[in-house]
Each structure stands twice: as C-alpha cells, then as structure tokens.
Structure 1
Amino acid sequence: MFELLTVSVASLLAGFVDAIVGGGGLILVPALFSVYPTAAPASLFGTNKSAAILGTAWATAQYAKRVEMRWHALAPAAGAALVGSFLGAWTVTLVSADGLRKALPFVLLAVFLYTLARKDLGRTHAPQYSGRTEALLASLVGGAVGFYDGFFGPGTGSFFVFLFVRVLGYDFLNASASAKLLNTATNAAAIVLFAFKGHVWWHIAAVMAVANIAGSLLGTRLALRHGAGFVRGVFIVVVGLLILKTGWDGLVRGMV
C-alpha cells in the first residue's frame, strides 16, 4: 500500500505539471523506477503511459471548453502524431538512441535560450496560417515529434508546445492545449505497443490514473486562470529541469 501511495502521489504531481505544459514524466518515471527497482523498464514505461494518458485526455477536454481548439489543423496533426509514434517505436528496435540521448540536452538548451531571448514569444495568440497550410504544418509537427516520442521520449510535451508557438504563432496557453491532444495520441500508440507485449501493470495504472486526473484538473484550472504568461514561465522551468535531467543521463552518468 505504501508503494502504491507513493506512485499515486507522484502521478498526481505529474498530472498537474503535464496539464500546464508537459513534462510530468520528469516526476513519475523516476518515482516508478525508485519504488520498483527490480521491475522491467518496459513495464514501468508502459504503466506510466497508461496512467498518464487519462490525465492528458482529461486536460484536453477541459481546455477544449475554454480555449479555441483549431480542429481543422489539430485532428490531422493528432493522426500524424499517432503514426509517427508507432514508426518511432519500431525504429528504436533497429537503431540505438544513444546519439540522440547525448544531443538532446543541447537541443533543449537552444529551445530554452531562444524562449528567454524572445520575451514576447507566445504571449499573444496570433495564428500565422489557416486552412490547409496550417493543417499541413501542424501535421508535420505532429509526425516529427510523435516519431521522437516513440523513438526516445523525454520532453515531448515541451517540444509540441514550443513548435506550436514558434511555427504556428499560437500563444503558450493555446499551444499547451493543442499539445495535450497530440500527446494523447502518442501515448495511445505507445500503450498499444506496450500492452501487446504485456508490459502494463493495469491494477497499478488504474489507481495512478485517478490521481493523474486529479492533478490534471488542478493544473488545467491554474493555467486557464492565469493565462499564457503563466504557462510560459512554467515552460521555462520545466525545460530547464529537462536540460539538467537529460544532461545527467546522456553526458555525465557515463563518466561517473
């Protein structure tokens, strides 16, 4: 019971962070590995995805009630993200992700510095495209980041948010809402693969999912109340933590 309580609290916090800007995996995945150190990593990843998808889907529904979701672009983008995630997961069975693991901190650092330098970035919602052009660009973002999520994963939500802001001209609040939809799609693809291989602890995932939804509800309300500037601030903090985490995992740990 203590183990389940621990991962449930971590799932609640992860849902809270995920609902605002993504990055809940920073909390939940290390918690699962700490509580269940002898478990197969695939089982922990599958259980994490199975818990997180309900919180992400819940956040999507809550945002859709208050934020203008550009469905003509987001629906095909979600489909592209799902397909990309499948392809990424298949590719990682053939190619090592070690090179990407080492490069990721530098990519995130570039995103971090760019966001800091452009103080007006993502504060105003001014979509730069419409119609088929917007749908095509959103689908390219969905497919590319979806592939990355299936292939490797850390920072997926942050990449979705940043690219929706930078490429499509969304503010951080609308970008976060859009990212939740696409993240739901990539999680669904991953769950199908993990479940097919028997790598989901459904009894634990079910309890964690309830906690994740509760955290998601709190995070979504906070983001909607305080708007794009607040989401931008949380984005900067989460990306900064991702830089530290991925830098340790990809560059420092191997030398220690």
Structure 2
Amino acid sequence: MGVELAISGWGILIAGAAVAGWIDAVIGGGGLVLIPLILAVAPQLAPVTALASNKLAAVTGTASAAFTLVRKVNPDKKLLALYVPIALVCSGVGALAASMIDKQVMRPLIIVLMLVVGLIVVFKPSFGTGESQALPTGWKRWLTVGAVGLIAAYDGIFGPGTGMFLIMAFTALLSQNFLSSAAMAKVVNTATNFGALIVFIAGGHMWWTLGLVLAVANVIGAQLGARTVLGGGTRLIRYALLTLVVVMCLYLGWQQYRGI
C-alpha cells in the first residue's frame, strides 16, 4: 500500500487490536477502538483500507470467540446453519450498497434503536437473564430469519452495534438468555464480517500485512473476551449491553454533530 509504520506505530495498533478483540467478544463494537486508531497512527492510509484491515481482524477474532462460546454453550446448530448463509449474502449486499446510503440519515435512526435497546434492558430486568426456553417454530422462527438478514445488511452498510442487535433479536424472538444469544450472535457476526470482507478484498482495498498482524492480536483479545463472557454469564452481558448503548449513542451523536 506504500505506507510505512514505525515500530511504535505497530505496537500501538497491535495493542489496540487485542483490546478491540476483547470488546468484540464481550459485546461487540471493537471497531470503535481499532478503526480510529488505524487512521490516527497511519493518517496517510485510505479510510477504506483501514476499514478493510479492521474487517479482516474482526472476522478472525470473532470467529475464534464464536468457536470458544459454541463449544461451551452449544446453541442450536440447525438454526445457525440457516442463519449463516443469509447473513453472509445480506452483509455482502449491504457492503455493495454502502456508498448509496446517506450516513447522516442512518445515524439518528440507529441512535433511537439503541436507546430502545437500553430502555428494554433497564426496565425489564428479567429480560435475557432466565433459562433459555424451547426454540419457537413457525412465524416467529422466520421472523428471526428476517431480522438476521436486516441486521447483516446493516453491518455491511454501516456496522456499529451489529453484535448487540443480534443478541437482542435472538433473546427476544427465540426466548433465550443473553449467554445463549451471545454464542449465536458471534457465529452470525462472523458471517456478516466475512461477507463484507469479501467485497473489500474484491475491490483491492486490503493491506494484507497490516490486516494479518492485527488479526493475530485480535484473536488473542477475543479469546480473553470469550472467557470473560463465560465467567461473567448473563449479568456481565447485561451490563455490557447498557455500556455499549451509552458509548455508541455518544459516539454516533458526536459524529452526527460534526457531520463526519
């Protein structure tokens, strides 16, 4: 890519990728750390290359966290086999359509949706904290399929909060606790990341050296994050959801105010 980084720059990015991997594994939103960090350390780098490098790190880290959580939580494999290809295709379509969507219009909508998520978690303390129920059939299951497709397309177009939205959808529509929903969300989020990654690679936007180095660090952080989730259970995820809602609303609101 014709970009040179000092050793200190590499060190900052590697540490940032590990932190982002931990955040992604716990609740999602690691891109809020890593993307600005890449652009700050390498300001001469094209923003789309920073996005592509972050996506490669995210897909490997999220996949490793998904593997760890699925082994321990054992979510429904048939449902995952249905959701994964839908997520892959819809996120790729979303990435292709990203240039046609005005982010100044999308941000206020996402802020409102996040506030709704926060209100549900605050005013319904039992939400996502009980035992998972028998998986629903019929229209509710297919409504979940539609939700996965929409959230995956959103990830390709815009992205922030994808993991959180998946957890909320699985918890509400499949009557699962947060831990079971988080395991499913990590698998589906891996597919949404991969779908968008394919588009970035096909467009020639990847800086492979940076992306692969960040991917290794992201996996390390993701493994630590997955073990944090398993140790903290549904209570940790509940608090992490609320924290993410506050941080994301402030971050997106600041971007909207600045017109970024």
Give the residue type in structure 2 aligned to 1:101: R
Aligned to 2:93: 87
Give the Cα separation in 1 of the matches to 2:141 and 2:188.
13
Structure 2: distance between partners of 1:127 and 1:91:
37
Q: Deviations over 1:183-227 (max 9, x none)?
A: 110111111111111111110111111111111111111111121
Choose which of 10, 13, 31 in structure 1 pairs with 2:19: 13
Partner residue, 2:28? 22
Q: Number of aligned pairs?
A: 254
The separation in 1 between residues aligned to 2:101 and 2:259, in whole angstroms, is 20
Unaligned runs of 5+ in 1: none
Q: 1:105 aligns with which of 111, 115, 120?
A: 111
**Match of residue 180, structure 2, among 170, 174, 177:** 174
Q: Which residue of 1 aligns with 2:253?
A: 247
| 2:136/2:174 contact within 8 Å kept | no
Alpha-carbon deviation of 1:132?
5.7
Contact 1:74 1:138 in 2 (8 A): no
Residues 124-152 of structure 1: per-residue CA shift (max 9 Å, x gap): 13236335656523322210100111111
Q: How does 1:108-123 map to 2 (within 5 A)?
A: 108-123=114-129
Q: 5 Å matches for 1:13-52?
A: 13-52=19-58
**In the alignment, is residue 235 of structure 1 matched against residue 238 of structure 2?**
no
Paired residue secondary structure (1:102): helix
Identity of aligned residues (%): 33
SS at match of 1:93: helix
1:92–1:151: 8 Å Cα contact kept in structure 2?
Answer: yes
* 1:144-200: CA deviation from partner (whole Å, max 9, x where unpaired): 100111111111111111111122211111111111111110111111111111111
Q: CA RMSD in A?
A: 1.7
Question: Within the alignment, does 1:130 sit opposite 2:136 as a pair?
Answer: yes
Aligned residue among 220, 223, 237 for 2:226: 220
Give 1:188's aligned residue.
194
Q: Distance in 1 between matches of 2:133 and 2:247?
A: 29
In 2: Cα distance, 1:87 partner to 1:95 partner: 12
- TM-score norm. by structure 2 comes to 0.92
**C-alpha distance in structure 2 between counterparts of 1:178 and 1:152, whole Å:** 21
The answer to whether structure 1 residue 159 and structure 2 residue 200 are counterparts is no
Counterpart residue type for residue 217 of structure 1: Q
- Of 186-195 and 31-40, more deviation after overlay is shown by 31-40
Paired residue for 1:68, among 74, 80, 98?
Answer: 74
Quick one: which amino acid aligns to residue 196 of structure 2? A
Q: Is the 8 A contact 1:15 1:216 kept in 2?
A: yes
CA distance in 1, matches of 2:147, 2:140: 11
Deviation, 1:98, is: 2.5
Cα displacement string for residues 6-25 of structure 1 (whole angstroms, at most 9, x for unaligned residues): 11111101111111111111
Select 2:151's aligned residue among 145, 151, 165. 145
CA distance in 1, matches of 2:127, 2:66: 23
Normalised TM-score (structure 1): 0.94
- Pair 129,201 (structure 1): closer, same or farther in 2 beyond 3 Å: same
Q: Measure how far apart 1:32 and its partner are.
A: 1.2
Is the 8 Å Cα contact of residues 125 and 174 (structure 1) preserved in structure 2? no
Specify the code of the residue in structure 2 equivalent to 1:137: L
Cα deviation, 1:31-84, whole Å, max 9, x if unaligned, reads 112112221111000000001111100011101111021111122111111111
In structure 2, which of residues 32, 54, 63 is the aligned counterpart of residue 57 of structure 1? 63
Stretches of structure 2 that go unaligned for 5 or more consecutive residues are: 1-6
